[in-house]
Structure 1
Amino acid sequence: MKKFFPIALASLLLTTGSAIAQQQSASVLSVGDGDTIRVRQGSNQTITVRLSCVDAPEIAQQPWGYAIIYPQYFSGCNASRGQYQQAEAGARQNRLAFWSQPNPVAPWDFRSGRRNTQPPAARPAPTSAPSPAAGTAIAV
């Protein structure tokens, strides 16, 4: 079933650290997991939209749909870094959402097959973000 939703699409300009948002209408084709969707804009343009700065559990992973800071790409999130860190710290402290599990497994550990690892915050964040392949996704 196709429904049209207004979606704020933003492309991050990593060289300046600023974001430009445009209001667009698109039809959601599929949801990959909690941080990625595929949409059709217009009659034939398919776009993958990925939320930047966060990673969400995979569909096969419980609890599906929650998001946590994604260290691999977090260094490119300078404008909102403090807000993300504050929100995640509050959720962790209050054992909310992803952090309500007895032994949370980070999505990147789940994907790599490491199911029993230390909590995600114990991992150091890298100092630079890799560049995504051109034209494959729009980060919002």
Structure 2
Amino acid sequence: MIYFRKLIPIALVVGLAGCNLFPSQNTYRVQRVSDGDTIAVSQGDKSSVTVRFACIDAPEVPHSNREKNSQKLLDKNQFNWGVKAKSRVQQLVNQGGDRVVLNITDTDRYGRQIAEVRLPNGKFIQEVLIREGLALVNRPYLRYCPSREIIEQAETDAKTNLRGVWKDPKFVAPWDYRRIK
């Protein structure tokens, strides 16, 4: 009985530490990082699912040669930030061993899964992108964001400290860029 009492605190520490010793069913292998707010993951049957990050909107990346070669300052600025956001997502995915944990909250009109995305160690990818100024809070969709307070606080921090796009007076929010493009 005395040994059992000594094991309880150890079990609690391990459980609360976010240790992912036993991969859960919501852990997926990342096949591709498409941009700063979209990834493709493989399901157990090897099929691919596109996942759009809940709560945020990252700057656009160029999708065509015409966009890649555009000389418009608006395009160059948007794509520069978009490439940085995509690279940061790739770096985070690499840190997680190409694995992510999804909390799927919805499906969009394109059939993409909308999800909060974390690394196996618990790091919240959307929070990192927002806090570093590489994405913006997507306010119309916050209702699909169980961690909305974390996201909003991260954006306040990024704005206050002029990180990423918040230090760039020429930056145009992705939703405005898509509208005027």
Considering the TM-score relative to the shorter chain, is it more than 0.5? Answer: yes
Aligned partner of 2:156 in structure 1 is 89
Quote the sequence identity (%).
Answer: 39
Aligned partner of 1:34 in structure 2 is 36
CA distance in 2, matches of 1:22, 1:107: 33
RMSD of aligned alpha carbons? 2.1
Aligned partner of 2:136 in structure 1 is 68
| Alpha-carbon distance change, 49 to 92 in structure 1, aligned in 2, over 3 angstroms | same
Aligned partner of 1:51 in structure 2 is 53
CA distance in 2, matches of 1:33, 1:22: 25
- Alpha carbons 1:26, 1:42 under 8 Å: kept: no
Give the letter aligned to residue 50 of structure 2.
Answer: T
Count of aligned residue pairs for this structure pair:
92
- Alpha carbons 1:69, 1:88 under 8 Å: kept: yes
| Alpha-carbon distance change, 97 to 46 in structure 1, aligned in 2, over 3 angstroms | same
Structure (1 or 2) with the larger CA radius of gyration: 2
Q: Comparing both structures, which one devotes a greater share of its residues to helix? A: 2
Please list every run of 5 or more consecutive structure 1 residues that lacks an aligned counterpart in the other structure: 1-20, 115-140
Summarize deviations over 1:25-53 as a string: whole Å, max 9, x none: 4241x322101011233453110111100
Please list every run of 5 or more consecutive structure 2 residues that lacks an aligned counterpart in the other structure: 1-23, 63-78, 86-133
TM-score, normalised via structure 2 length: 0.45
After TM superposition, the structure 1 = structure 2 runs for residues 1-140 of structure 1, keeping only pairs within 5 Å, are: 22-28=25-31, 30-60=32-62, 61-64=79-82, 65=85, 66-77=134-145, 79-113=146-180
